[in-house]
Amino acid sequence: MDTGRLGSFVSPIDGPGGRVAWKVVNAAAMHSGERVLVAMSGGVDSSVAAARLCDEGYDVVGVTLHLWDYPRDDGSSASHGRCCAPEDQYDARRTADALSFPHFTFDRRALFERTVVQPFVDAYLGGETPSPCSACNRGVKLAELFALAERLGASHVATGHYARITRGADGMTRLAAAFDREKDQSYFLYASPRAWLDRLIFPLGESTKGAVRTEAARRKLPGAGKGESQELCFIGGGAHAYGDFVADRAGGRVRPGVIVDESGRKVGSHEGVHRFTVGQRKGLGVALGRPAYVSRIDAAGGTVHLGGEDALLSQQAELADVSLAEGVALPVRARVRVRYRHEGEAAAVLPSPDGAARVHFDSPVRAVTRGQIAVLYEPDGDGVLGGGRIAGVSDGTG
């Protein structure tokens, strides 16, 4: 039973005659002196997460990672997302001041460029559609937060992610989906090892986004009225934002090519494969008189293949860079999500040579795309079993 994280909660105790009784426990007394490093983005989620940790008596230390600098040609902040914008460092510090805990900012721009941005560019030039948020959480944010926790003497790391940590009867921790399915971010955290899960805290895992916003307003936290970030934090909005970003950093690797239909007939031309993704229908620059979608991208030949809905269906996917939760071994049955907004499809996941894996979907899945992440969940539950980068797809007939 939870009283809203206002400093106390109701806890079961052994009562007379073996009955369960309840007592009000001061949450601040439970974690008094335990230092937790909390990631601060300056947004609503991380601010409420920090406030809840303060309520529970943790010795909170706020950390903001400076990851990117943004062009300000238009004099506004509308051209980029809010995830790690420089001005949000100020809001993070204001929240820390309001809640009376120390706050530090660390420059990790070079690491972010090397680990997230350049691989993002390379993937698009190679005809893939990458998942930079997964790469960022794995290789930058969480990795750096745990390194900083060691330096700052923190036993735990907390973030404003919507995800949960569960603990089985054997005491093993496991990542699980959040209560709020619309905001669940466990997909991006699939590769978190148990050594991290044992020390991670997700204060928002059992909350809805609406409840978090209401709480931020009630607490009068700085930035309580901030909007949601809709795009990648390092790329602005607009129809051509992704393509222009990649082209600007391609170093002469962009080259034009052709667009062909199902029969291989040329139906158009393009300025670079990086401006296309599997499943795309709009912005193709061609009119076939019928619905047409990008069904395949041949980066080596510079060819974009179009097809109908049936051409988007895949029965199998090959996974590389596979990461499995502790205690999970292949083969395994799983519900597999092939992109963030995918509900998941039942599948058998089999081992392949060199640590890879092959996913056999029970039913064909639309627009399974190279470069995206396939995350494995319990067939009838919320627990994350692992995941990997989609390296190849097929209709299962080969």
pLDDT band at 71 (very low <50, low <70, confident <90, very high): low
Closest CA to 321 of 186, 196, 139, 176: 139
Q: What are residue 248's phi and psi, to 5 degrees?
A: -65, -25
- pLDDT for the residue 79: 45
DSSP notation for 348-383: EEEE-GGG-EEEEEEEEEET--TTSEEEEE-TTSSB
- Between vectors from CA 83 to CA 386 and to CA 232, what angle results, nearest 5°? 70
Tell which wins on pLDDT, 1 or 366. 366
pLDDT band at 168 (very low <50, low <70, confident <90, very high): confident
Tell which wins on pLDDT, 34 or 354. 34
The verdict on whether 54 is a catalytic residue reads no
- pLDDT for the residue 83: 52
Inform me whether the pLDDT recorded for 29 exceeds 90: no
**Mean pLDDT, to the nearest integer, of 220-230?**
79
The verdict on whether 233 is a catalytic residue reads yes
Across the chain, mean pLDDT equals 89
Tell which wins on pLDDT, 396 or 245. 245
Residues 183 and 69 sit within 8 Å (Cβ to Cβ): no
Q: What are residue 178's phi and psi, to 5 degrees?
A: -75, 165
Inform me whether the pLDDT recorded for 106 exceeds 90: yes
pLDDT band at 217 (very low <50, low <70, confident <90, very high): very high
| Chain-centre distance for alpha carbon 288 | 36
Distance in angstroms (rounded) separating the CA atoms of residues 130 and 362: 25
pLDDT band at 240 (very low <50, low <70, confident <90, very high): confident
pLDDT band at 354 (very low <50, low <70, confident <90, very high): confident
Distances (CA, A) of 245 to 117, 253, 276: 10, 13, 13
367: left (phi over 0), alpha (psi -120 to 50) or beta: left
- pLDDT for the residue 7: 40
Query: Which one of 54, 83, 133, 233 is the catalytic residue?
Result: 233
- pLDDT for the residue 5: 40
| Chain-centre distance for alpha carbon 370 | 17
HSE value, Cβ hemisphere, 13 Å, CA-based, for 138: 21
**Mean pLDDT, to the nearest integer, of 163-186?**
94
DSSP 186: G
- Between vectors from CA 384 to CA 379 and to CA 390, what angle results, nearest 5°? 90
Longest pairwise C-alpha distance within the chain:
82
User: What are the tens digits of pLDDT across the range 57-67?
Assistant: 999 999 999 99
**Mean pLDDT, to the nearest integer, of 255-281?**
97
Report the 10 Å Cβ neighbour count for 290.
Answer: 7
Inform me whether the pLDDT recorded for 4 exceeds 80: no
**Mean pLDDT, to the nearest integer, of 336-362?**
96
pLDDT band at 216 (very low <50, low <70, confident <90, very high): very high
- Strand order of the β-sheet with 257-260 is 266-270, 257-260, 303-307, 293-298
- pLDDT for the residue 16: 45
pLDDT band at 228 (very low <50, low <70, confident <90, very high): confident
Tell which wins on pLDDT, 232 or 229. 232
Distance in angstroms (rounded) separating the CA atoms of residues 16 and 298: 72
Closest CA to 294 of 134, 128, 120: 128
- pLDDT for the residue 86: 60
- pLDDT for the residue 239: 79
Distances (CA, A) of 308 to 8, 36, 291, 295, 305: 57, 52, 7, 8, 11
Inform me whether the pLDDT recorded for 22 exceeds 80: no
Beta-bridge partners for 266: 260
